[in-house]
Amino acid sequence: MWIRDASATEIAAAIRAGEVTSRQVVRFHVDRLRAGSALTSVVADRYDAALDEADAVDARIAAGESPGGPLAGVPCTVKESIPVVGMPHTAGLASRRCIVTTDDALAVRRLRDAGAIVLGVTNTAELCLGIESTNSVHGRTRNPYDERRVSGGSSGGEGAAIGSGGSPFGLGGDTGGSIRIPSFYCGVFGHKPSPGLVPANESVPSLAGDAELDTLETLGPMARRATDLMPLLRILADDDGTRCGDVDSVDLAGLTVVVPTRSSFVRPMNRAVRDARDSAGRSLADVGADVRWQPMTAMRRVIASYLMELRRHAGMPVMSLFDSLSETPGRHLTPAVLRADSLQLRLAMIGDRIPELLPKPGRDLLDRFARDLKDEVFGAVGDGVMLHPPLPAPAPLHHGTLARPWLFGGAAMFNMLGMAVTEVPLGFDHRGLPVGVQVAAAPGNDHVTIAVAHHLESVFGGWVAPEDVTRA
């Protein structure tokens, strides 16, 4: 049972000490994923190969040799839109159904070099553009806390795999909340790194050939324990993690903590989500942080500004992404556009048309909105953090995002601003659905948001296995 609740670093230490074998750890998680196969979290597995790799780690330990890197023998999962050798690499597109990757992405190689064992690849929203992870290639992913509900997107398979207890950690991608939304819905930790820290240009789709020039797109860790986030980030990051900062150097006493009011959501925030956010703020105040609840009205206009920024960073209309991937409207795109789970795709198409629909004064106004947002957020946060839920309510029923395109704005704005953000689970509502909050900080302050996540995990408990959740 301890394996289910342990962090990846704890498991790695136990394997090195001979307290448990890598095979036992990998077998535990494989069995857990197989038992939860109805979730459709892992869409292509390498379980047999993973067990062979675990045996190799155990053999090295038995021979008195080094088992490998800091994650030697620890299993993980990877979002399917990120290349993993021998695994499908479709991003949910029918035209890529037969594509199998012949090499690992750099981030995946770094995890393997650290000794991690990949169990398989996980489901994603179509073209990674959606709050729900469903597509015509792999099907629909379900939430481990209520299978009638969404797991989030676009890294929804990762959220479900980790949230179910089937994986200690995973690798996701985030261009508009795609790590943090599934982490929120599935009750796990997720970190969107500062721009340029982790290379992301090998994923599908990619907005830039040079990740250091892009503020929107990044890869990052998702985990059931906050203590894994910084070790994983250091492994994934360029420059051997020297830019990641030191979590232990963060003093919460006196830290500025901004809790926005009247911000980015059109409708009232769900009470359980609001109460969890406020409780997080109070817990930081209890250790001496300078916590301020204040109106942040410029955040209300984030969606239009984000769409313009998405188009700007893509360097081409989002519809051209389909052309670049040999996707044809008659074959796949029209059903995607019509489905409720493709709201972000439809919003991106609207973003394509903004330049032609708006006269220049209107485009200038959107640019001004973006500047106002940047000034408001950075002016308030400084070297501190902001607490803001990525979404206004816990996981909705499948198709529950229909006609609510503003939902992801509370997450997407931090991509637009290039901020470091950690999603932190804060317990459950009366139905047993996870609630949580984003901790956002200025670029380069990843260690600050993760330090706050450590504190909040110690207070609220962090991830809880679905079978241990009490429901009203």
Contact 343, 130 (CB under 8 A): yes
Closest by CA to 44, choosing from 94, 81, 3, 7, is 81
Mean pLDDT of the chain: 88
pLDDT digits (tens, 9 = 90+) for 57-93: 999 999 999 999 999 999 999 999 999 999 999 999 8
pLDDT digits (tens, 9 = 90+) for 125-162: 988 888 889 988 999 999 999 999 999 999 999 999 99
Integer-rounded Cα Rg, in Å, for the chain is: 21
**Residue 241 pLDDT:** 85
Least confident of 44-58, 110-124, 266-280: 266-280
Of all residues in the chain, the percent with pLDDT exceeding 70 is 83
Banded pLDDT at 181 (limits 50, 70, 90): very high
Banded pLDDT at 332 (limits 50, 70, 90): very low
Specify the pairing of strand 75-79 against strand 169-174.
parallel
Catalytic residues: 79, 154, 178
Q: Which residues are CB-neighbours of 210 under 8 A, at least 6 positions away?
A: 201
pLDDT digits (tens, 9 = 90+) for 288-298: 999 999 998 88
What predicted TM-score, i.e. pTM, was given to this entire model? 0.92
Q: Which residues are CB-neighbours of 44 under 8 A, at least 6 positions away?
A: 80, 87, 88, 120, 121
pLDDT digits (tens, 9 = 90+) for 391-431: 999 999 998 876 565 677 889 889 989 999 999 999 999 99
pLDDT digits (tens, 9 = 90+) for 31-60: 999 999 999 999 999 999 999 999 999 999
User: For residues 240 and 468, which has the higher predicted lDDT (pLDDT)?
Assistant: 468
For the packed helices 47-62 and 22-35, what is the interaxial angle rounded to 10 degrees?
160
**Residue 409 pLDDT:** 81
**Residue 337 pLDDT:** 44
